[in-house]
Amino acid sequence: MKFLIPIISLFILVEITSAQSLSLTLDKTISLATDSSLEAFHNKNMYLASYWEFRAYKANRLPSLDLTLTPAEYYRDITKRYNSEENIDQYRNQQYYYAQDGLSVNQNFDLLGGSFYINSDLAYIHNYGDHNYSEYTSIPIRIGYSQNLLGYNPFKWGKKIEPLRYEKAKKEFLYNMEQVSEQATTYFFALAMAQAEYELAKENVASTDTLYQTGLQRHKIASITQADLLILKLDTVNAQNTLQNSEIALKRAMFALASYLNFEKNTTIHVHLPSRPRNMEISVDEALQLARKNNPTFLELCQQILEAEQVVDKMKKEALFNASFGASIGFNQVANNFKNAYRDLLQQDIVSVSLSIPLIDWGVRKGKYNVAKNNLNIAYISAQQEELTVEEEVIMTVSDFNIQQDLILSAEEALDLAIMAYMEIKQRFMIGKSDLNSLTLSLQRQQEAQRNYISALQNYWLSYYKIRKLTLHDFDTGLSLSNTFDYKHGIQ
């Protein structure tokens, strides 16, 4: 029987795990959402992809060292060759072995848009057949430079755009994580409202049953009519139905929050409403200034304009002709043995200038340039419209937030008054000094006050996290979320 004990313990552990129960505050819910939700996981991986793209861009600005090898290449074939003595083409057998290695260092020159390189090369070939011989060819060192002569410099534009692109990706990550907080707040208060409705429904069941029992006693002494007693009975039936519907709604809200937090679907969650927040007045002007500085939408607009300007610059400088320049200086030699391939080196000088001039293109390049200019104008107009949309959203959200603080105070006061009024009328009804309509109306007012208070808290916290999302600033601590992110992750 001893071997059954671990198995039984395992089943008990699984049962406990499957019936996990949690008690959550709003802060804990947001913390779990930003750490464990699938949406948060998606946001982190999107940011990491942009981070490594930026790392690759920075690495591409540094010198690169490349080694190319062809350890062995064997070739045996019949090929066509020209016989200059007889002025005819002939088919000949060809058989050779070839090997090559090369080492090169490359460095982009951002100022002019060209590239420097230093390389070294060694090759060996051995021919078989009637002319059986071997040769080595070497380039001990060669230094060169090449670039486009039109003036379009892709490195200069990359230096402007890539850091902005990464900064936008970083702030998009923060923006999306604040959106996770906002969504978690929505699920939290949806469960809080369902939880409150369920508790109100249970209280209503108990209350209507008590009132019905009291009504039975009062009906015996003709203190209330038969119609009033039937209404009390109807209230008990309706209360039971409401309780069942509230229980279903509670399970749905609980399931939605558990799914969002990436918990087991049958996890039981009980939420605790946050206390009334401290008064916090946020300046619209300050929020607008922070949004212009931190909101990723503004960085996205700047990036779009820079990319459109880059295309215009490229099309303008390529509208007439293409030209490139290349020059290199070094040494080379050829010999039938390895040692002599590095003796009595010969100087190797290469200079090349290439031009591509379209004589007739039927306005293709001009058309591309005009399209690029129009796209730039569209980017300017779209940026202005989008800026106004974001600024309007900031203004309205801050205004709503400042109003919500007063609404919470009013809702809290209304809830206290509704509870006291209901308890007073209930006691008066129990002793026959109040009618049924007054009792029903007071109960409805109490329940509505409870809902209004939860809604006021929800609207306050949703507005607060939306302001954080739009400005990437924590107004409670006065810290920039972007600066905090840099400190946590060590990004320079």
Res. 226: pLDDT tops 70: yes
Tell me: the pLDDT tens digits for 242-260?
A: 889 989 999 999 999 999 9
> Which tokens in the block code for residue 170?
């970083």
For residues 305-326, give the mean pLDDT: 83
Indicate the residue type of 66. Answer: D
Q: What pLDDT is recorded for position 252?
A: 93
Res. 142: pLDDT tops 60: yes
Q: DSSP readout, 163-209?
A: HHHHHHHHHHHHHHHHHHHHHHHHHHHHHHHHHHHHHHHHHHHHHHH
Q: What pLDDT is recorded for position 411?
A: 84
Other beta carbons less than 10 A from residue 90's beta carbon: 10
Q: What pLDDT is recorded for position 182?
A: 92
Sign (positive or negative) of CA dihedral 200, 204, 210, 211 = positive
For residues 289-308, give the mean pLDDT: 92
Q: What pLDDT is recorded for position 149?
A: 74
Residue count (the chain): 492
Q: What is the mean pLDDT of the chain?
A: 83
User: CB under 8 Å to 98, separation ≥6 — which residues?
Assistant: 70, 72, 73, 74, 75, 123, 124, 125, 126
Res. 179: pLDDT tops 60: yes
DSSP state of 134: E
For residues 148-170, give the mean pLDDT: 86
> Which tokens in the block code for residue 270?
């009980």
For residues 375-400, give the mean pLDDT: 91
Using DSSP's 3-state secondary structure scheme, residue 443 falls into: helix
Decide the pairing of beta strands 268-271 and 21-24. Answer: parallel
For residues 210-225, give the mean pLDDT: 72
For residues 308-327, give the mean pLDDT: 82
Q: Which residues pair with 82 in a beta bridge?
A: 89
- Going by pLDDT thresholds of 50, 70 and 90, the confidence category of residue 486 is low
Q: Do 473 and 480 form a contact (C-beta atoms < 8 A)?
A: yes
Q: What pLDDT is recorded for position 184?
A: 93
For residues 175-192, give the mean pLDDT: 92
Tell me: the pLDDT tens digits for 9-62?
A: 344 334 434 457 888 999 999 999 988 889 999 999 999 998 999 998 888 888
Exposed/middle/buried for residue 141 (C-beta within 10 Å: 0-12, 13-18, 19+): middle
Res. 6: pLDDT tops 70: no
Helix axes 436-471, 284-294, angle to 10 degrees: 50
> Which tokens in the block code for residue 446?
């109490």
pTM, rounded to two decimals: 0.78
